[in-house]
Amino acid sequence: MVPLLRFLADGQFHSSTEIKENLGLSPHELSEAVDRLTMSGLEIASDRQAGCRLITPFSALNAAQIERCLGSRAAAFTLEVVDQTGSTNEDLLQRARQGAPHGLVRVAEIQTAGRGRRQRKWFSAPGGTLTFSLLWNFANGADALSGLPLAVGVSLARSLEAVGLQGVALKWPNDILWRQRKLGGILIETTAPASIGVSAVIGIGLNLQLTAAVVERIDQPAADLESAGLRIGRNELLACLLSDLSDVIGEFSRGGFAGFRAPWQRLHAYQDKMVTVEMSNGEQLTGKATGVDKHGALRVMSAGGERVIHSGEVSLRLAEKMKQ
């Protein structure tokens, strides 16, 4: 599927004869491959005479190009670009358990089992999103990572603003928003190899260009960079994100979340707004979101006083009266 995707990357029509000569696909195999690409959310035009083409040209991931964009910072990372995998997070968790060094980055053209927080499925079309995971080892235990998703959010927002996107906001604990619609998300999972304190796998997904088919599958309002007015190649964008992430993670390793609290609150989409929090036990809490504490826990001022929400296994939304 991915070889055909790359062959059709220019957005031009290519005949079945041309595709067979270059990829060795029979008409039947070509039809099956086109069906799989369409099912993944891509829009493909077909013509009996002209052949088939991608409606939107595809920009393939390329390790050499990412390294060129990283420049001197490339030495801090080990890049793995793969055609397809189940989950880049799961891949790196397995590698972390085997003692892999930090700085390992795995980015995939296609994720078949991408996931978000609370085991939600991450929907994407090949070429329309940037999905990658970064492995980083920390000397201290998991408790020292409190607030890491929020610090990563600050980094992503800062990088997106640096490449020209205005209006980026953050939703606790790990969503990137644009005009109150989800632009991307962060999923951090940890494991504890015997040789170090804890390994964190930082999974990131950003919407670059959502097709109508993908939008239909998403159960919440979604945004993408193109609709926000920003066009940027995935290789360039990944290099930009990694460059700032390395600085942020280094600062977090030395001082924890405290130094990121103020910038996170400046980007907080719900700051001083009425919100409803659905707890994992079914309890609902409504109050004013007053920010986060020095550990990254959400502070909500309710009728019964201030509540501090530590768990990310909750659902947070604007209170109904704020939506009207």
- Reported as a pLDDT band with limits 50, 70 and 90, residue 241 is very high
Structure-token pair, residue 63:
């390790």
Under CATH, which architecture does the 270-323 domain have?
Roll (2.30)
Question: What is the four-CA torsion angle of 286, 287, 292, 297, rounded to 10 degrees?
Answer: -30
pLDDT of residue 156: 98
294 assigned to active site = no
- 272 Ramachandran zone, left/alpha/beta (phi>0; psi -120 to 50): left
The DSSP symbol for 6 reads H
For this structure, is 317 an active site residue?
yes
Residue 186: partners with Cβ closer than 8 Å, 6 or more residues away: 149, 152, 153, 156, 174, 175, 176, 202, 203, 204
pTM: 0.87
What's the confidence (pLDDT) of residue 221?
87
pLDDT for the residue 79: 97
Q: Which of 117, 288, 299, 307 is catalytic?
A: 117
Q: In this model, does residue 321 exceed pLDDT 80?
A: no
Phi–psi pair at 73, nearest 5 degrees = -75, -10
Give the pLDDT band of residue 243 (cuts 50, 70, 90): very high
- Nearest to residue 84, comparing CAs of 43, 57, 53, 114? 114
36 flagged as catalytic: no
Picking from 218, 188, 224, 186, the residue whose alpha carbon sits closest to that of residue 205 is: 186
Q: Residue 273 in contact with residue 322, Cβ under 8 Å?
A: yes
Distance CA 308, CA 26 (A): 60
- Check residue 259 and report its DSSP letter: G
CATH number of 63-266: 3.30.390.30, 3.40.50.1110, 3.30.930.10, 3.40.1190.20? 3.30.930.10
CA distance 94 to 118: 20
**SS3 assignment, position 157:** helix
Kindly report, residue by residue over 86-115, the tens digit of the pLDDT: 999 999 999 999 989 889 999 998 888 766
**Average of per-residue pLDDT across 256-283:** 93
CATH topology of domain 2-54: Arc Repressor Mutant, subunit A (1.10.10)
Catalytic residue (one of 20, 36, 307, 317): 317
pLDDT in tens, 183-208: 999 999 999 876 668 999 999 999 99
Least confident of 49-58, 156-165, 299-308: 49-58
Say which of 53, 95, 182, 261 is annotated catalytic: 182
As beta bridge partners, residue 318 has 275
Q: Given a cut of 80, is residue 118 above it in pLDDT?
A: no
pLDDT at residue 110, as a whole number: 84
Distance in angstroms (rounded) separating the CA atoms of residues 146 and 256? 8
Q: Domain locations in the chain? A: 2-54, 63-266, 270-323
Burial class (CB within 10 angstroms; exposed 0-12, middle 13-18, buried 19+) of 44: middle
